[in-house]
Amino acid sequence: MKSHQVVVRRRKSSVALSFAALALCLVALPLPVSAQSAGEQAAAAGKKVAFEESWQVVYIGKSRVGFGRTTIETKQRDGREVILSDSEITLAMTRFGQEVKTKTQIQTEETSAGELLGFHYELLNPPAAPTRKTGRVENGRLIVDTEVAGKSTRGEILWDGSLKAPGYQDRLLRDDPLKPGEKRTIKSFSLEFGKVNIVTLEAKGQEEVALLGDEKQKLLKVSIASSVAPGFVLNEYLDVKGEALVTRTSLLGIAIYKVSKEEALKSLSGEEADVAIATLVKVAKIDRPQQTARVVYRLTIPGDDPSRILATGPTQQVTPVVPNTVDLVVTAIAPPAQPPSDAKPVGEEFMAANDYLQSDDELVQKYAAEAAGAETDPWTVSRKLERWVFQSLKQKNFSTLLASAAEVAKDLQGDCTEHAVLLSAMARARKIPSRVAVGLVYVDSLGSFGGHMWSEVHINGVWVPLDATLGQGGIGAEHIKFADSSFSEKEAVAPLSTFLPLVSVLGKLRIEVREVKYK
């Protein structure tokens, strides 16, 4: 019966990433399979089980914002046992008062030994077109077909056979459960972020945990950390059967509860949970933020090092103060008259079209030509492009989390992410290297910093920021940068991974404005 027991398990490894880009780009990955179903009972009784199903509900604080369903099916194929997992999650909430709905599905095919055979990933976030990834392992390579905005591309990587599929760790722990105080590390592959993922699991001890309703139960706390999302911690609370009754994340008070199908499918209350408002960082008022030349901030993240997630370079310098606290100096810059002596050429990925920055799209090229006309000076062209995007995207739509440049060019609507991808793609259409930056921006009307994305162009050997949501021909020192990316799938950091440093500290970060100088 042991050979079957390793089949029916949860998928904890992907849960740590379930809300990895919640504030800027909701990426809902598989929830754990946590039901002690009739199938598991049959397995315990010595009967072969071919199909399992479990259900979950998702809360942000007191708001019920989503539900999940996971199935696991065991089949015999070519003389070996194959495990088919299908996880989907539906979320409904708001961003600045506008409704956001997403549905994500991940299907995996693997052997009972954890060998990945293939997968399919799909994200639905209307009105944007679906994003899909389909992969299969063939002859020592992982071949991945990606579809964004209706256009498909193919890529492949050399496959490391020692990497485990997402569900392997749970089946392994089924046979050999963690004991309080025990820690284990498993090397797997993150399908969503396209990179090696080191998962660390540590059993802490028994805690009394509140379930849905008024019931409380003493459960074993297991902390799960992931190398692809450092600082983002998941805690699962297991009963004596090893069943995850409650899962909590370090982001926004998100909690996932194991429930019946009937409970999972009850009405959501997503209108109560505004993820944009919930992730704001309140600070003292900054007058004339866009005219700031230099601002000194003090950043504190309890239990973490802010230096780990802050970008450094010409616009930002970080100085440690005490553990968990740094001083950050942000400086507004413009392109130098001449390239610095240590300037290096940019990589091809900052010039080429890719799945999200389609600089070869017909409309993107048309707009880039119209916006700057016959102008040839790169900095002047860049500012004209910024102004054009600012003026042309009149409808500020917060319901789409991350559309591609081609989609934005077609609809001319969206929020900061759409402004950033279109401007970056238009710059490349004019042969100007570009990338996107992710971080925080001071929102004057709210007296707070909020999650943001903007563009950077490479002029005279220096990356210079532009923000098409403002259209000012540059930015002040009111932007705090966490990461940047070419958004190329070939880059070491996959596009969606760009959001992880910021999202990992949302709800924990504290900012103090210590000094402000103006232009």
Q: How confident is the model at residue 21 (pLDDT cuts 50, 70, 90)?
A: very low
Count the Cβ atoms, other than its own, within 10 Å of residue 162. 10
* Distance, CA of 462 to CA of 96 (rounded, Å): 34
By the 8 A CB rule, do 4 and 43 touch?
yes
Percent of the chain predicted with pLDDT > 90: 54
Answer whether residue 489 shows pLDDT above 90.
no
Least confident piece of the model among 158-162, 324-328, 493-497: 493-497
Tell me the per-residue pLDDT of 250-286, one tens digit each, with 9 for 90 and over: 777 789 999 999 999 887 654 556 777 778 999 999 9
Indicate if 258 and 316 belong to the same structural domain: no
Task: Print the domain residue range for 312.
Answer: 281-518
Q: Assess whether 270 and 312 both reside in one domain.
A: no
- List pLDDT tens digits, range 72-104: 899 998 888 999 999 898 888 777 777 778 888
Say yes or no to pLDDT of 144 above 50. yes
The residues that bridge with 29 in the sheet, in sequence order, are none
- Output the 3-class SS for 112-156: CCCCEEEEEEEEECCCCCCEEEEEEEECCEEEEEEEECCEEEEEE
**pTM summary value:** 0.81
**When comparing pLDDT for 370 and 497, which is higher?**
370
**pLDDT tens by residue, 501-510:** 888 888 889 9
Residues 273 and 285 in one domain: no
Do 371 and 265 reside in the same domain of the chain? no
Q: What does each C-alpha distance from 194 to 118, 321, 498 come to in angstroms? A: 13, 35, 13
| 267 shares its domain with 296 | no
Tens digits of residue pLDDT in 23-70: 333 333 334 443 334 344 444 444 445 788 889 999 888 888 889 998
What confidence category does residue 173 fall into, taking pLDDT thresholds of 50, 70 and 90?
low
242, 277, 312: which is the final residue of a domain?
Answer: 277
pLDDT score for 107: 92
pLDDT of the residue at 78: 85
Q: Residue 399: pLDDT band by 50, 70, 90 thresholds?
A: low
pLDDT over 50 (residue 511): yes
* pLDDT band (50, 70, 90) for residue 137: very high
- Mean pLDDT, all residues of the chain: 84
At residue 189, the pLDDT reads 87
Q: What is the CATH number of the domain that holds 401?
A: 3.10.620.30
d(CA 118, CA 141): 11
Which residue has 């398990």 as its token pair?
9
What region, left, alpha or beta, does residue 280 occupy, with left being phi > 0 and alpha being psi -120 to 50 degrees?
beta
- Count of structural domains, the chain: 2
Q: Which two tokens stand for residue 184?
A: 């284990």
Burial class of residue 329 in the structure, from the number of CB atoms within 10 Å of its CB (0-12 exposed, 13-18 middle, 19+ buried)? middle
CB 378 within 8 A of CB 457: yes
Same domain, 268 and 328: no
d(CA 357, CA 365): 12
pLDDT at 395 over 60: yes
- DSSP reduced 3-state for 278: helix
Same-domain check for residues 376 and 399: yes
pLDDT in the model for residue 491: 58
**Percentage of the chain modeled with pLDDT above 70:** 86
Query: Which pLDDT score is estimated for 387?
Result: 98
Distance set, CA 78 to CA 81, 137, 399 (Å):
8, 16, 45
pLDDT classification of 177: cutoffs 50, 70, 90: confident
The 3-state secondary structure of 11-55 reads CHHHHCCCCCCCCCCCCCCCCCCCCCCHHHHHHHCCCCCCEEEEE
* Residue 103 and residue 155 share a domain: yes
Both tokens of 322, joined, read 């005490």
Phi, psi dihedral angles at 68 (to 5 degrees): -135, 155
Identify the bridge partners of residue 108 per DSSP, sorted by sequence position.
85, 119
Predicted local distance difference test score (pLDDT) of residue 193: 75
Burial class (CB in 10 A: 0-12, 13-18, 19+), 179: exposed
Residue given tokens 């429930």 in the structure block: 259
pLDDT in the model for residue 2: 32
pLDDT of residue 397: 66
Higher pLDDT, 268 or 148: 148
Centre a 10 Å sphere on the Cβ of residue 174 and count the other Cβ atoms it contains.
Answer: 17
Asked if 202 and 259 sit in the same domain, the reply is yes
At residue 409, what is the residue type? A
More confident residue, 128 or 272: 128
pLDDT in tens, 362-381: 999 999 999 999 999 999 99
**337 CB burial (10 A radius; 0-12, 13-18, 19+):** exposed
Are 233 and 327 contained in the same domain? no
DSSP notation for 318-360: EEEEETTEEEEEEE-----SS--TT--PPPGGGTS--SS--TT
Assess whether 93 and 135 both reside in one domain: yes
Q: What is the pLDDT of residue 5?
A: 27
Decide which of 221, 247, 277 is a domain's last residue. 277
Give the domain-ending residue among 214, 245, 277: 277
pLDDT of residue 3: 31
Q: How far apart are the first and last CA of the chain?
A: 73
**How distant is the alpha carbon of residue 122 from its chain centre?**
14
Rounded to whole angstroms, the maximal C-alpha distance in the chain is: 77
Residues 253 and 298 in one domain: no
Quote the tokens at residue 168. Answer: 């392997």
Greater pLDDT, 275 or 442: 442
- Among 37-41, 105-109, 367-371, 443-447, the least confident range: 37-41
